[in-house]
Every structure is written in C-alpha cells, then in structure tokens.
Amino acid sequence: MKLPYAVSLGPGSSTADLTGSWRTERPVYQTLVAPCGNACPAGEDVRTWLYLAESGGAGYEAAWREIMETNPFPAITGRVCYHPCETACNRGNLDEAVGINSVERFLGDQALAEGWEVRVRVPATGRRVLVIGSGPAGLSAAYHLALRGHAVTVRESAPAPGGMMRYGIPRYRLPREVLDAEVDRVLALGVTLELDSPVTDLEAARAEGWDAVFLAVGAQLGRRTYLPAASAAKVIDAVSMLHDLEEGERPLLGRRVAVYGGGNTALDAARTAKRLGASDAVVVYRRTRERMPAHDDEVAQAEQEGVEFHWLSTIERVEPDGLLIEQMELDESGFPQPTGRTERLAADSLLLALGQDTDLSLIGPDSGCRVTDGSVETDHAFATGLPGVFAGGDVVAGERSVTVAIGHGRRVAQSIDAWLAGEPAPRPAAPDLAPYEALNTWYFEDAARTHRPLLERARRSSTFDEVVHGLDADTALFEARRCLSCGSCFSCDNCYALCPDNAVLKIGPPGEYEIDLDYCKGCGICVEECPAGAIRMDPEEI
C-alpha cells in the first residue's frame, strides 16, 4: 500500500497479526435445554414458543404452531395444567417465574378466535390404529398419528369425547366450548370418533384387524373405603358426582356437604357443591395443608369461595345427621397418627375423593397385557406385553394429569409410528440443562409478573362461569418477554459489542454470530456477558 506523505503505518495494517494464536480456550455458541421445556409433561419446547410470541403480531401464530408440534390442546392446558414449567423456570430465582401457563392460554384462545388450523401434510399410510378412550391421552395420540398419515379411530364409552377433561374437570375451570373447539380441531384431521361405544374385550377389538391399538381408558372409578355408615347416610363418590353432573343429573347433596380427601378432585367436588347451592362445603383431610397433594392455586381459590377445611382429621363413622371425626396428629416422619379425640361434623352428604382406579376389565385373564397394582405394565416406549398394543395416560403407573396424559399420547404416537415402520422406538436423550448460574441476570430488566384476574367472588358461589380470566394482548406480550431465554441466544449483540478484538462477527439474521478465530484471544468476555448462557469456553488442543 502506497501511503501518503508523513503517514508511516497503513490503517488497519494490524490485521496482518493473527492474535488468535495466543488463545488457549475458544468460545463456542451453544443451545442448552431450558428447564421449562424439560419439565413440561407434554414435551413442549416452551422457550422456543415464548421466543416466537415475544415478537407479537404474526409471532403469536408461529408460537401457537410451535406448541401444536407437541400439544394439540393449548387452550385447555393453558387453563388446567399445573404448570411444572413455571416451578422449574429460572426466573423464579430472580423475581417470579414467567407466567408460561397464562401465555399458553392466550395463544390457545387466540387460535380459537382466529380459526387457526393444522393440516395433515403427508400422504396416507394406509395403516389403521384403534385408540380406546377419548381422553387427553387418546386424543393426543390420535392427533399425532393422524398428522403422520395414519387412519385413526377413537372409541369412547361416553356420549361425548374428552374423558376426564369433560367428566372430571368442572366447567368453571374448563369451559366446554373451549374443550369442544379443541377436540373438534383434532377430529377435523380425519380422525373417526365412535361415541357410546365401550370396548369390553381387548382381544376381540384387536381381532378386528387394527395395525396397532392404544389403550387409554383412564381412571374413571372413584376409590371407595370402608366407612361404618347408617343406612340413611348419603355417601357418594366425587368422580361419579362430577360425571353425572356433566350428563345433566343434578345431585341432591343437601345444604351441608363434606368432602373426604386432599387431592384436586376433593377441591373440585367441594367447589362444585358450593355452586350447586350448599351453604357449607367442608373438606376433611387427614394431614395438613402443606402435605395436601392438591395444587396451591386450587386451595387458595377454594378458600376464597368459602370452602372450609378440617385438617388432620379422619372420618370414623357416617351417621344420619353428620360425621364422627377423629383428630390426628403428625408423627416425626410426617405420618398422621390417631389421637382418640373425636368430634361431630354436621353434614347432609359425604363426597369421597380418595383417588381413582382404572377399569381394566376389558383385559382378559392371562392376557399378554399385564396389570400390576391396577396399572398396565409398559416398557419405556409405552408398549404392553401384547405386540402392537400400547397403553398410556392414567392406566399406567405414575403422575396423573391432563398434561401428563397429553405427553403420553404424543410419545405413544411416536412409538406406534416406529412400530408400524418396524423400527425401534426413539429413546429421548438426557438433556443438557441451562442452569440459573449460567445466566448473566444483570442484563434483564426488572419486570414483575402479571397475574391473571379472577372472576368476582359473588359469581363464583352461584355459577359455573370460568373463574380464571385470560391475559389481554399487552400483558401476554409483557409476560412472554419476561423469558430469560435460558441457554439460547436471543441476539442481544453483547458478544459482538463487547469483544475487545472485534473477533465476533455478525454473519446474518439476528442471532447469527461467528467467532473470528484468527483474532479471538480467548478472553472469555463474550461468555461472561452473555445474558442467556449461550456461549461456553472449550479448551484448545495445544
């Protein structure tokens, strides 16, 4: 280069000096698994759809489509899921978890309002799959199988589809128009639904010539317990009560209703009793509130509605005008022990919410499909001992919830798809999680969580109107943008802006960077200042 007079060094001539040779470690961009998605029983990639939703506008549909990759029911789970994603959310360490569930509901409702649809984009395979039960597990499997081009028939014993989503969860938590709309969207993929068609013999059903069968009959039987009871006593199991109510039968519960149990069904029963006109709804539970399996939000809402609680109590005897209750105390290991002290509780009826059992009478004796402790035995891929027969949802052992069942349905669909192709079922890899410590939280704006508004209390004692309202567009967007994007670049440009050596290059659309190894000295500032923990240092081979 010919330099002008008195200029001794060419501009930028330092680039001849490749300072990258100083390096002992190199920065590497990485994408880790976020704890939210890792905790999602339905297998949603939560971080990805929050990222899409953060743009607002057209981003909402993209976000919804991302959810639909795994979960066909975002408007339902946006209402009834107990959101383990939020429990796992790293933002909980900073201020309060991102309101993932409320954003999901917003997206689900947006889809229903806008009429967004999914389509089968592969040719029909000609394979036929029978799904027994139209609950969340069955319908989720039907959805994913249909999207893979298989012909699916769902057989349901009840007159309407949805399983526990319809016959277990009260309307004030899940309005039926939402349930119907999301179920219809699955059926619109060409899934055949046969209602009022109980399957009573698995072998006979198999013999109809299906290529695969998914057993997803759920756990519909209310568990009973032996209680000495006077003949006039009115003892009903809560599951049947909720089921009958859905079929239009208004149970006669009287003015004072007691509920026995501490799970979510107990609270559903008590809150339903209140809405049916009971002046007193009392939950009797043998342990303390802290040990109650019911979800905190549900307990809080029940308390707001005037449901009362008798903690550390068991029922000794049911008498015509009430209950004889024995007080308990927790021993050192936290188990309730009887104290011998009793009291009377006036009650016109008693609802039992002591858990649910599966009705597996369709599985004959000596079947290859084995049942242990009331649950169907399956392998990691949800396959039973009978070739081509899979089981999931409440009929297999483990946690029971709508979202768990949806996740089972999706994984069963994968397994069936693999089975039909003659391939082994996929085994999910152990996730490489993004821990809170990997984040640089300095860069995140202080942003307090927005909570969903609740229906006013007066209307919660007399109607089955939905209790929890949705977020409006502005607050949903705000909540989505509270996401810390754990373990995934969100194109903040810190690495590019803070490199003292200009050794980070922006090579394309937002979020695409490359380290210029000719000049990167390996200082690690980009790693330290990455808000999302999306860069790591790897040692150089020297």
Partner 1 sequence: MTTTLYQIGTFAAGNRLLDPALRAVQSSTERGNAITSGHRACRGCGEALAARVVLDAASRATGGRMVTVNATGCLEVFSTPYPESAWQVPWLHSLFGNAAAVASGVAAALRATGRDDVRVVAQAGDGGTVDIGLGCLSGMFERNDDVLFVCYDNQGYMNTGVQRSGATPPAASTATTRAVGPSVGNPFGTGKSLPLIAMAHEIPYVATATVADLHDLEAKVVTAMSLHGARYLHVLVPCPLGWGSASAETIRVARLAVQSGLFPVFEARDGAVTATTAIRAQVPVEDYLRPQTRFDHLFRGDGRPDVVAALQERADRNIARFGLLEESEETP
Residue ranges that bind partner 1, judged by CB under 8 A: 8-19, 22-23, 54-56, 442-445, 447, 474, 477-478, 481-483, 485, 490-494, 496-503, 506, 510-511, 516, 518-519, 521-525, 527-529, 531, 537
Q: Which is nearer to partner 1, 91 or 155 (CB)?
A: 91
Which tokens is 362 given? 């369709």
Q: Which is nearer to partner 1, 232 or 507 (CB)?
A: 507
d(CA 494, CA 120): 41
In the complex, minimum distance from the CB of residue 14 to partner 1, in angstroms, rounded to a whole number: 3
Q: Which is nearer to partner 1, 54 or 280 (CB)?
A: 54
Q: Which is nearer to partner 1, 57 or 428 (CB)?
A: 57
In the complex, minimum distance from the CB of residue 194 to partner 1, in angstroms, rounded to a whole number: 48
Within 10 A of 126 (CB to CB), how many other CB atoms are there? 9
In the complex, minimum distance from the CB of residue 475 to partner 1, in angstroms, rounded to a whole number: 10
DSSP state of 171: T
Q: Torsions phi, psi of 256, nearest 5?
A: -115, 115
Q: Which is nearer to partner 1, 248 or 508 (CB)?
A: 508
In the complex, minimum distance from the CB of residue 12 to partner 1, in angstroms, rounded to a whole number: 5
Query: At 418, which amino acid appears?
Result: A
Q: Which is nearer to partner 1, 17 or 208 (CB)?
A: 17
In the complex, minimum distance from the CB of residue 468 to partner 1, in angstroms, rounded to a whole number: 23
Q: How many residues does the chain have?
A: 542
Element housing 345 (H / E): strand 336-346
Q: Which is nearer to partner 1, 223 or 481 (CB)?
A: 481
Residue 13 class from Cβ within 10 Å (0-12 exposed, 13-18 middle, 19+ buried)?
exposed
539: left (phi over 0), alpha (psi -120 to 50) or beta: beta
DSSP state of 216: -
Q: Which is nearer to partner 1, 401 or 485 (CB)?
A: 485
In the complex, minimum distance from the CB of residue 164 to partner 1, in angstroms, rounded to a whole number: 37
DSSP state of 386: S
In the complex, minimum distance from the CB of residue 483 to partner 1, in angstroms, rounded to a whole number: 7
Residue 226 class from Cβ within 10 Å (0-12 exposed, 13-18 middle, 19+ buried)?
exposed
Which tokens is 97 given? 């978890």
Q: Which is nearer to partner 1, 441 or 463 (CB)?
A: 441
Query: At 215, which amino acid appears?
Result: L
DSSP state of 4: P
Residue 29: name the closest of 538, 442, 429, 444 by CA: 538
In the complex, minimum distance from the CB of residue 419 to partner 1, in angstroms, rounded to a whole number: 42
Task: Give the chain's count of helices (H) and strands (E).
Answer: 18, 21
CA angle 33, 37, 43 (to 5 degrees): 120
In the complex, minimum distance from the CB of residue 116 to partner 1, in angstroms, rounded to a whole number: 23
